[in-house]
Amino acid sequence: MTELLFLNSESATNRLVLLHGWGADVNDLVPLGKLLTEGLKDRFEIVSLSAPQSHPSGSGRQWYPLYPHEWQQVPNAVLDLEERLNNLCFKKIPLNKTLLLGFSQGGAMALELATRKKFEGVFALSSYPHPEWKPIKDMPPIFLCHGNNDEVVPKSASQKSFDMLVKNGVKSELYFFDGGHEITNDLIEHCRGKIKKVFLS
């Protein structure tokens, strides 16, 4: 199993870390990472991490079991992921030059990591908050994006995350797009625009 993929490591000044969704694998979000960072004035290293557990279907990976939900596994899954992130060379590209992006279950994991690490920014796509998730005031900016017609993770999940973040004084935005549990061209353009405007201006 490939645990992580590195792209564009040479001469990069910024980093984009990708966390895939339930049943996907380390390769799943790499094309998205390329589309989000190609041609920007700052060069990005792309790091895609693989979830540690096999998916019950026999293909793909999971950060923890979802059907049924085994929420008790979440704390250890988050600790394990944080440890793996610590092993990345943050001296070369610091955390304040690192963006984190997660989709679905990976988005839920990204929200957890955002309470523990001061990334430059966090994108949680089609995500949900874990039952025990507690935002804290000193978090990086959070960008929540969700399809209006998502039948896998309802958009109310991102609305709930957003309400909790705002209540705790965290800089956050919520963007709904036309689509389901997917990454559309509209979503890609929105996220790329945010990266250019908020983090590279």
pLDDT in tens, 94-136: 888 999 999 999 999 999 999 999 999 999 999 999 999 999 9
**Whether the Cβ atoms of residue 46 and residue 6 lie closer than 8 Å to each other:** yes
Task: Annotate 9-68 with DSSP letters as a single string.
Answer: -TT--EEEEEE--TT--TTTTHHHHHHHHTT-SS-EEEEEE--SEEPTTSSSEESS-TTT
Q: What are the sequence ranges of the domains in the chain? A: 4-199
pTM confidence score: 0.95
Distance CA 62, CA 24 (A): 8
Is the pLDDT score of 1 beyond 60? no
CATH of domain 4-199: 3.40.50.1820
One-letter amino acid for residue 185 of the chain: N
Would the pLDDT of 200 be above 90? no
Average of pLDDT values for 75-86?
93
pLDDT of residue 188: 96
* Backbone angles phi and psi of 122, in degrees to 5: -130, 130
Distance CA 25, CA 193 (A): 26
Is residue 6's pLDDT more than 80?
A: no
